[in-house]
Structure 1
């Protein structure tokens, strides 16, 4: 009985980052609907982003100060500029001789193809199975621009990828997750405030009532900009930026499912096909990455076992050298 309990704890510990990233994508999908409702209600998107980031930074500030007071590195000017810019790139190690590495490449391409299907291909409309569980007021003046929306979606994905990679780089020099999250929120709030002042000249746009606008800002600040960013930083430090970003296609699937089953929006066949393709690609990507990590760990174990024999060390290293690109 004790052994089964230990095995269960080990499995939960191993897949903890996976479960957390699935919950992150679910929370982000809920954010989309709450933000849409507040924007249809009249909330200015720029004001929303400003308030959301400032709220998250202020709430996280006490945690960052007290929990990381002894481990927080000194924030130099160069490091502050890294946090301000967030614009570096990174490379994933690929071994083309290993079928699991090939699975990572194929899975990534399949997931990307699935997202493109959801975005660009519509197809016939599918009939709703039941009435909507939640009604969201739609703005009748909004008109659909699929091409513009698709281009903005692709640009958003590229920006998110750069942001994730920059997080991994910065965490190596500033390994304080609470503090880094706080700084990103406060600096992001300041940037948004300056931009909003430039583009929005109506002072009444800054006024928030006790309605969906306020709840949207609270959810976006506390959950999205605060808690979810911290979880992603932790997963990035544990598994790397590629692991974190490979769950992003799941967001499109969750939004499609919630839109259809909960909100009652029309579901096109292209969305369903694209969602299935995304799941297949995500499964291949996770399988390739996890099994490759198992190979790396087993190689380290063999290295430890042969550490007393120099000849075995050389043989082990020669057999396990990957082809890195």
Structure 2
């Protein structure tokens, strides 16, 4: 009996790891929503969480890649600066502002839009060429339109409100009525604008990663240095916006928990788990679990934050999830690209990063991609 249990755990360790990653992402989104709604300055949150993330990953870089620091030069520092600015400072700030003005589940929908946005940008920049006549190409285009349609349904169509009552949690909900009321103060139009901007920034971020990872082919050092650089950038931008010292002071309450939670668990633990699963199952495997974060977040919202769903949000959610899976299926097949295998691997890695978009700044690439990147990339 024990041998069967051990065997089952060995077979299921990869999916269980990815479920854990989605649980961590869900916790991050809900907790971040709470502290931001309570008035925590977003750039202070970004600066502190990136500092904790850099300190957590740095020992791995020093232990496993102590010799690779010699590869760091002015060119690498430039791309680290750009990578941090696009992915961890601006994109994440826009996402947090969008989260502030909407709900965690609404914001989670846009995480699933990032692979589609990146794919569209890669076509515009001619980093990828799609054969419309092929089955895989048609599936990817159709899936992209389905995802965009789902986002439009969520934004433009509300429909009937679905009240979900959880009797066992009634006492908890009533105790947190004031918090739930504050969190439900939304500005959907402004929040959608921020979230769309975040998706676009992440798409450009993946382009900058091509340059960074080709010139600095390490796993832990780019993550450590990008977190450190993003911490400095967030601090400088935050000081320009708000110089009040009270804005940067931390209260020993949920704020401290969120900073360490996002810095250690979402940056460190998520990074290690996703990297391990990629090595075991391939780069598209983790992204198959992305919709779980959306489902978990919706459940947590209804349990603790008294958020009601609408018919429009449910329909849009199904459209986005269905479109994402169709897009991932098309991405697994060989499509016509310039240096297909390598660019497809980069595109798959952009799907993987959805598990980590709120977590870490760099995805470890396949070394073959870095050694054989197409010439088009050099001209970007």
The question of a shared fold, defined as TM-score above 0.5 by the shorter chain, is answered with yes
Q: TM-score, normalised by structure 1?
A: 0.73
The answer as to 2:143 corresponding to 1:124 is no
Distance (whole Å) between structure 1 residues aligned to residue 285 and residue 67 of structure 2: 29
The structure with the largest alpha-carbon Rg is 1
Structure 1 Cα separation of the partners of residues 317 and 329 of structure 2? 18
- CA contact under 8 A between 2:53 and 2:264: conserved in structure 1? yes
CA gap 1:171/1:26 in 2 versus in 1, 3 angstroms: farther
Instruction: Give the C-alpha shift of residue 40 in structure 1.
Output: 3.3
Return the offset for 1:85: 1.1
Q: In the alignment, which of 4, 24, 46 is matched to residue 27 of structure 1?
A: 24
- Relative to structure 1, the CA distance from residue 82 to residue 178 in structure 2 (aligned partners, 3 Å threshold; closer, same or farther) is same
Instruction: Provide closer, same or farther for how the CA distance between residues 120 and 176 of structure 1 changes in structure 2, counting only shifts above 3 A.
Output: farther
1:112–1:249 Cα contact (<8 Å) kept: no
Matched ranges for 1:151-162 at <5 A: 151-162=193-204
2:41 matched to which residue of 1? 44
In 2, distance between residues paired with 1:9 and 1:20? 11
2:81 counterpart (80, 84, 95): 84
**Where does residue 317 of structure 1 map in the other structure?**
none
The 5-angstrom pairing of residues 161-176 of structure 1 reads: 161-176=203-218
Q: Does 1:277 align with 2:319?
A: yes
1:189 to 218, 231, 242: 231
Q: C-alpha displacement at 1:142, in angstroms? A: 7.1
Native 8 Å contact 2:136 2:333 kept in 1: yes
My pick for the range that moved more, 45-54 or 217-226, is: 217-226
Which secondary structure does the structure 1 equivalent of 2:180 belong to? coil
Shift of residue 71, structure 1, vs aligned partner: 4.3
* Equivalent pair of 1:100/1:288 in contact (CA under 8 Å): yes
Normalised by the size of structure 2, how large is the TM-score?
0.63
Name the stretch that deviates more: 47-56 or 132-141.
Answer: 132-141
Give 1:83 deviation, angstroms. 1.3
Q: 1:121 to 1:255 in 2, by over 3 A?
A: farther
Report the equivalent of 1:145: 187
Shift of 1:180: 0.8
Q: Aligned Cα RMSD in Å?
A: 3.7
Deviates more, 1:22-31 or 1:102-111: 22-31
Task: Give the paired residue count.
Answer: 286
Structure 2 gaps of 5+ residues are 1-7, 87-117, 342-380
2-structure distance, mates of 1:200, 1:62? 33
Task: Report which stretch shifted further, 215-224 or 228-237.
Answer: 228-237
1:55 and 1:261 mapped to 2: Cα distance?
A: 30
State whether residues 56 and 226 of structure 1, in contact with CA within 8 Å, keep that contact through their aligned partners in structure 2. Answer: yes
The 5 A counterparts of 1:265-304 are 265-292=307-334
- C-alpha deviation, 1:291, in angstroms: 3.8
- Segment of structure 1 superposing worse, 136-145 or 125-134: 136-145
Residues 304-315 of structure 1 correspond to what in structure 2 (within 5 A)? none
Cα shift readout 1:255-312 (whole Å, capped 9, x = no counterpart): 334323554311111111111112211221222222438xx99xxxxxxxxxxxxxxx
How far apart are the structure 1 equivalents of 2:164 and 2:200? 33
- Alignment of 1:198 onto 2:240: yes
CA distance 1:259–1:279, shift in 2 (3 Å): same
Aligned residues of 1:114 and 1:278 also touching (Cα < 8 A): yes
Whether 1:68 aligns to 2:65 is yes
Does the residue aligned with 1:65 lie in a helix, a strand or coil?
Answer: helix
Shift of 1:65: 1.2
Q: 1:222 aligns with which of 255, 264, 267?
A: 264
Q: Distance in 2 between matches of 1:104 and 1:122?
A: 27
Q: Matches of 2:150 and 2:162 in 1, distance apart?
A: 18
Structure-2 change in CA distance of 1:74 and 1:184 (3 Å):
same
CA distance in 1, matches of 2:18, 2:215: 24
The answer to whether residue 177 in structure 2 is matched with residue 180 in structure 1 is no
Q: CA deviation at 1:227?
A: 3.9
